[in-house]
Amino acid sequence: MQLGFIGLGRLGRAIVGRLVDCGHALTVWNRTPSRAEGMGFNIVPSPSSVADRAEEVVFLCLSDSAAVHDVLTREDGLLSGEVSGKIVIDLTTNHFRDVRTFYSLCDRVGCTYLESPVLGSVIPASKGLLTVLVSGDEAGFERVAPLLEEIGKHLFYLGEAGLATKMKLINNLALGSFMATLAEALAMGERVGVGKEKVLDILSVGGGDSLVLRAKKGKLLQGDFSPHFSSALIYKDLHYIQDLAYEQKTPLFTGSLVKELYARTFREGIDQEDFSAVYKLFRKG
């Protein structure tokens, strides 16, 4: 299938690679064209050109809701192209309020918008092992489910518009909180005289055993915080879920505290490093 794809950040590149491995041809646009060079894709000059060339589906994989809105509505944006009857699959972790606007914008021009945020980072994306959450038109979901199964090991259809995005934010509340707790536990273990590797080995078979620790153990051991998912992005998602808690008139205890920890990564100049680099804050004391 000739697919459209917009957004070649770290996650986007990994998903594109997976789609190519599955035999799909891609037409690609990226705000920074150099990121697409040498990848063998059909690179076009605008989002509208992606819409024109995609047979049925266009993926978005962008940093935030502002980027999605710009790609959809700019003068040469996606929705100014030939999108009628096509499906826009938005893999971005958006603000839950903004997705309502994206549904409306797509509906006006006759295309189907599916919010489809994913759980997982670069390595699972490259292997087709993401978890994909989907809300939106059920018939549209059924049309693209086989395609989504090529990038995701687990696929959850949540129906009502907005639910997939809200669930993604809830997941990232757990993700960011787990990571901060593991980082603090590691730093405390080192401070009392237990070696880093031994602390992590014990946590791995004790209270710290988790998908998060299994994914980040190597980074913590090696001090390699090259980004798979940055501190800046988890900070953004925790801000979004604070807004969700506000809308629900409910307190957000751990999420609010952990958000402020990740805010500190900007002051320390490590916000673009992997979110496991929050360990540096505790190690520094």
Reported as a single tens digit per residue, the pLDDT across 131-147 is 999 999 999 999 999 99
The verdict on 146 and 177 lying in the same domain is no
Name residues whose C-beta falls within 8 Å of residue 238's C-beta, 6 or more positions apart in sequence.
172, 173, 176, 255, 256, 258, 259, 262
Can you tell me the distance from the alpha carbon of 125 to that of 9, in angstroms, rounded to the nearest whole number?
A: 12
The verdict on 186 and 204 lying in the same domain is yes
Q: Which long-range contacts (CB under 8 A, 24 or more apart) does 255-263 make?
A: 255/173, 255/176, 255/177, 258/173, 258/176, 258/177, 258/180, 259/176, 259/235, 261/180, 262/176, 262/180, 262/231, 262/234, 262/235, 262/238, 263/235
- Based on the number of CB atoms within 10 Å of its own CB, is 84 exposed (0-12), middle (13-18) or buried (19 or more)? exposed
Q: Select from 128, 159, 190 the last residue of a domain.
A: 159
Cβ atoms of residues 235 and 271 within 8 Å: yes
**Closest-CA residue to 187 (of 211, 179, 210, 207):** 179
Reported as a single tens digit per residue, the pLDDT across 233-249 is 999 999 999 999 999 99
Can you tell me the distance from the alpha carbon of 5 to that of 27, in angstroms, rounded to the nearest whole number?
A: 6
Which segments in the chain show pLDDT lower than 70? 285
Reported as a single tens digit per residue, the pLDDT across 142-177 is 999 999 999 999 999 999 999 999 999 999 999 999
The verdict on 82 and 216 lying in the same domain is no
The verdict on 132 and 198 lying in the same domain is no
Half-sphere exposure of 275 (CA within 13 A, CB side): 30
CATH number at residue 95: 3.40.50.720
Structural domain for 49, as ranges: 2-159
Q: Select from 159, 186, 201 the last residue of a domain.
A: 159
Can you tell me the distance from the alpha carbon of 111 to that of 40, in angstroms, rounded to the nearest whole number?
A: 28
Can you tell me the distance from the alpha carbon of 164 to that of 141, in angstroms, rounded to the nearest whole number?
A: 13
Q: Select from 159, 181, 201 the last residue of a domain.
A: 159
